[in-house]
Amino acid sequence: MASPELSQRIQSLPDELTALEGERETSERLRRIDALRDHARASGPLDGIEDMALADYDRDWLVRYTYNSNAIEGSTLTLEDTSLVLEGEFVPSDSPARYVFAARGVADGMAYVREYAREGRRLDEELVRRVHEVTALDLQPFARGTFRPYGYLARITAARVKTADPLEIHDDLQSLIDGLDGSDAHPLLKAAGFHAMFENIHPFMDGNGRTGRQLLNFILLGHGYRPVAIKYDAGRAYALSLEAWQVDGDPTSFCSTLLDRVEQEERAFIDLIEGLRRKPEPSRTIRSKTDLLDEFGETLRKNLDRRGKEGGNDGIDHEGPARHMGH
């Protein structure tokens, strides 16, 4: 059955985002985040040590992102299991094989997302299908990159959300993409709006959450922002914030959470680079690159711990490089 309410909400999304951007608090937060992004990008070029530290940070982030994105969907792999799977060293014998494939898929999919963003690829149906195909490795081949067939009505567990009729998926997704392409709204708000409506459409038989979070990060990366990772233990709050937008037309909670986390990721990057460039205290002796990375890792973890206490986690994982840094 067609969902005219969803189609109407998608069509009105650009105006909704423009109105949201016009609110004083939102516009001030957007300016603050953009200033941080510009400051972070002005930090380059990076030298060898800084590149090495950033690579360590990104590897650690990928493990946490993969773990959390799959845990939201019910995976039983631990953070340590996920790390080992991505390193190709270990396949947990007490976890279903599909969770191992799911972990590999999210990591591989993020590699594609980063590359597509670097290439300046446009968000279109082909890219959406491809990201799902490489991300949902736990699904049968026929289901990867293929929209739900006629008669397959998707349900979102414990939610009031009505997903798109299979016959409306193509048109709704195209309308969503075209509407945001033609919108002058801020890219962070467009990223939030796309994610909310994509999950509402629910175009695939499975893997919509993982794919939607990949595409959210594709949009962020394409506009020069750091990607974000939503924590599994805030999954219910995350789902409710999306539902509030999809059903009640209230974007406040999800947009606020996303803006908070993008800001924290930008600050984390700045802390990383400035921590490496800061002169060590006279009492600390730096004898090697490893010493310098250890010095930075300790400082960054302290800063992130402090921010966590001040602002809570609000559903996005932004912990510092806890295990890989300095090794």
Spatial distance between the Cα atoms of 145 and 205, rounded to a whole number of angstroms: 10
How far apart are the two ends of the chain, measured CA to CA in Å?
A: 55
The CATH topology of domain 4-317 is Fic-like fold (1.10.3290)
Give the pLDDT score at 276: 87
Give the pLDDT score at 318: 42
Nearest CA to 133 out of 231, 61, 214, 235 is that of 214
Spatial distance between the Cα atoms of 221 and 30, rounded to a whole number of angstroms: 16
Give the pLDDT score at 292: 54
Q: Where are the domains of the chain?
A: 4-317
Q: What is the pTM of this model?
A: 0.85
Give the pLDDT score at 323: 36
Cis peptide bond prior to 166, omega within 30° of 0 = no
Give the pLDDT score at 236: 80
Question: Which residues in the chain show pLDDT less than 50?
Answer: 314-327
